[in-house]
Structure 1
């Protein structure tokens, strides 16, 4: 579980040398990789964005599974730039162990016991980014997202302490968590209700928020959106018409966390052409896909995961706004 930190607390990232001294021969601490992209934050003071006492399992059970983490936080705006991972554009929030942080006065948050592990080097971190080469010659990458299973343990939904920690850590308000728990219990009922005759089901057993693709309709011309452009997310009905029954558009899923943004406006942060597939380490290549500024998953339907993953938007789900 987490330590004494709370969301909003100010911390300083320790020096490169101090951090390297906490790592094993593979550049990890209890399975958690320290990635080369994190070195640029050494010595910087940043607020804690969220306590990462749990995180989505995007490898094994992406819809409901969560994993437990110990003494780990996310720092505000400290995202991976992908520079050491083939230019991956996912922009994931980095995972920071408390051993890599100190107070603004320079007091380590959690001292690492001296001794047993060999000291890593910066080259160790670079070497650990590559897991191997696939049969077709593609590079297979390692990162904190692909290795999350090694740095965590399963976290069943029925353990109440995690929800107490969601509030105690200041990750989420009590009202947000209570509402989310009611939705969680309702969706468990919905899953069971699919065994009932259709006429006895609520919304045909769909989980809340109820949605299902009715298309896909014709492929529109790409907007070729540029960073900084203002866009409006289309209505729920328009987006459903662009999705198949599996809630996907050409393989890209539309998640329930994205529904609250329907009808809202935001600016394009960047186009996304390539991201690392977390369960294989392969680089995936995308088209007609962007991420929006300040638009991330808030975990309302995913057991309050604090990871704030960027949501990926097909241009077909957006319309350009003439300013």
Structure 2
């Protein structure tokens, strides 16, 4: 049974899930993370089918996986040294039951592991917790964590961008609409022409911007800053806190803060953040600690980043991983944001309604 975006499921009991796991707390090499136990027995709506994803451990690429979905649940980092990246959690269908919205008529989606709910190899919650880090070498500060993000290359397989079946499943799974698919393919095709080295890049980008302006779309998203790499990039301190409302600065203003590698103080500004430029959002959290997915080490940043509610990568401009459903939060420098005055009529109006979370086309 293949779940679609919008379907309802119930997370199985702790005993049933333990029955599917090996002694490292994994199923088909995908870790079941300790904080996932708190959702056992509860019902959730499917956010996206995770039939594919993006690998950020090795050079960025698309990857295929089977029998997995995303619910609208993110890692809180509590078991991982306080990591604040808030990654979307992967769920194997073996850990779920189909359910109606009212919770009736639940049924197992997979018969993995003994039906008695007792692991044949005796996996326990202690084993799951122990599986969150590699054996320590040296001081506790050198601990190497193991989570779904660090293990992603192991529980996925190669997926070539030209494999058309993935795009068909994007639509049939409910992950994207046909119109979104067509717009994405149109952009990818046009972008290849721009980068074909035929000497018309500037003209083609201008035509793209002109066409987008006719229906309120965003400008061509892959542009670079102009500050030399050996020069310092500008910064500012707003001390933004969760719940505050901000406006993302226009794209052309953000470009003035970037070097020629599109970085500000080491943080890359990606094309996937461009659709949010010019709109207003609520601050979700500050971020200064995250797990390096390549090494498993917990990194403390020299300069905090900001996460905004509902503002994540939608994989619209990434040729090798288009429409990846992983929805990684975009990281923002405070110099890319403007605080909205708390006493303004605009801020009051925004507080009384939902701040927009859907980027422009």
State whether TM-score is above 0.5: yes
1:235 aligns with 2:231: no
**Structure 1 contact 22–119 (Cα < 8 Å) conserved:** no
1:73 aligns with 2:88: no
The residue that corresponds to 1:211 in the other structure is 223
Task: Give the Cα–Cα distance (whole angstroms) in 2 for the partners of residues 157 and 38 of structure 1.
Answer: 31
Query: Aligned-residue CA RMSD in angstroms?
Result: 2.2
**Structure 1 contact 213–240 (Cα < 8 Å) conserved:** yes
Q: Secondary structure at the match of 2:171?
A: helix
1:321 aligns with 2:344: no
Instruction: Choose the corresponding residue for 2:59, options 58, 61, 76.
Output: 61
Deviation of 1:299 (Å): 1.6
Q: Secondary structure at the match of 1:130?
A: coil
Task: Give the Cα–Cα distance (whole angstroms) in 2 for the partners of residues 89 and 322 of structure 1.
Answer: 27
1:263 aligns with 2:278: yes
Deviation of 1:296 (Å): 1.1
Distance 1:225 1:159, change over 3 A: same
The residue that corresponds to 1:45 in the other structure is 43
1:128 aligns with 2:127: no
1:295 aligns with 2:295: no
Distance 1:266 1:161, change over 3 A: same
Larger of the two Rg values belongs to structure: 2
**Structure 1: which 5+ residue stretches go unaligned?**
none
Q: How many residues align?
A: 313
Residues 213-240 of structure 1: CA deviation (Å, up to 9, x unaligned): 1237753331110001111111112111
**Structure 2 contact 233–258 (Cα < 8 Å) conserved:** no
Instruction: Choose the corresponding residue for 1:277, options 292, 297, 311.
Output: 292
Task: Give the Cα–Cα distance (whole angstroms) in 2 for the partners of residues 186 and 56 of structure 1.
Answer: 22
Task: Give the Cα–Cα distance (whole angstroms) in 1 for the partners of residues 66 and 201 of structure 2.
Answer: 39
**Structure 1 contact 291–313 (Cα < 8 Å) conserved:** yes
**Structure 1 contact 85–141 (Cα < 8 Å) conserved:** yes
Deviation of 1:184 (Å): 2.2
**Structure 2 contact 47–70 (Cα < 8 Å) conserved:** yes
Distance 1:153 1:218, change over 3 A: closer
Deviation of 1:203 (Å): 3.6
Deviation of 1:257 (Å): 0.8
Deviation of 1:114 (Å): 3.9
TM-score between the two structures when normalised by the length of structure 1: 0.91
Deviation of 1:255 (Å): 0.7
**Structure 2: which 5+ residue stretches go unaligned?**
100-104, 209-219, 343-361
**Structure 2 contact 64–156 (Cα < 8 Å) conserved:** yes
1:183 aligns with 2:183: no
Distance 1:131 1:237, change over 3 A: same
**Structure 2 contact 233–264 (Cα < 8 Å) conserved:** no
Q: Secondary structure at the match of 1:319?
A: strand
Deviation of 1:210 (Å): 2.9
**Structure 1 contact 270–292 (Cα < 8 Å) conserved:** yes
